[in-house]
Amino acid sequence: MYYEAHGNGPALVLLHGGGGSIPHKWIPFFAPHFRVIAPEQMGHGRTADLVDRPFHYHDLAEDTVELMRQLEIETAAIVGYSDGGVVGLDLAIHHPDRVSRLAVTGANARFDGYTTENQEWARGFDPRAEPISDSYARLSPDGSEHWPVVLERLKAMWAAEPSFTNQELGRIQAPTLLVVGDRDIVTPEHAVEMFRAIPGAQLCVVPDAGHGAMPQATVLAFLREDVAGQT
């Protein structure tokens, strides 16, 4: 599992979106305040796809926990974008002791949290016809010809998952910030439902913004609340 570490301070695990790789554009904002651990999940970036292994959000979350164990990180702030946010939710539900704070952007708890248009796209797109992403072509150890295979695995995951119940969301103990753009592929209504289900959650709806909105100052202020309280 490929990862990078940047900066010093409390641990922050930065989780990329589906089909993507390390979001380097965000690292300089967080690295002055945190030790940023940025992994690339199975089949993404420089981490190979193991086709005989299951490909579900929970598996990616368990891989992330194992990376934390290997790096001797007992607990960390989790920041996740899109699929990375879903992985963050899974971590907070199943490994509450590992998550000190959770900030997710463009993450859904169920498939029906997507807009109707994105539901139709996720069910209907042809992995063999989708253009290869620049980062995959540049980084993947599996080669460009493996791109449709990864997309087929992602498509199957997206069509069936995530499927967190409100009761499961209600078990999240970490202070949580949910971020959604008002033109996101995750509907604001779904974000509000998640906000109501997660105890003490905060919700940030970013105006005139699409998928992956990152109001950095807001997210950083949220993440540093614990740090400020300890100084």
Q: pLDDT of 142-176, one tens digit each?
A: 999 999 999 999 999 999 999 999 999 999 999 99
Q: pLDDT band at residue 43, thresholds of 50, 70 and 90?
A: very high
Distance (Å, whole) CA 64 – CA 29: 22
pLDDT above 70 as % of the chain? 97
**228 has pLDDT over 60:** no
**229 has pLDDT over 50:** no
pLDDT at 231: 34
In CATH, the architecture of 3-230 is: 3-Layer(aba) Sandwich (3.40)
Residue range 74-80: mean pLDDT, rounded: 98
CA 122 from chain centre, in angstroms, equals 18
Are 72 and 95 contacting, i.e. CB atoms less than 8 angstroms apart? Answer: no
Domain-wise residue ranges, the chain = 3-230
Q: pLDDT band at residue 225, thresholds of 50, 70 and 90?
A: confident
193 burial level (CB within 10 Å; 0-12, 13-18, 19+): middle
Residue range 70-74: mean pLDDT, rounded: 97
| Token code pair at residue 89 | 């939710």
Are 73 and 11 contacting, i.e. CB atoms less than 8 angstroms apart? Answer: yes
CA 2 from chain centre, in angstroms, equals 16
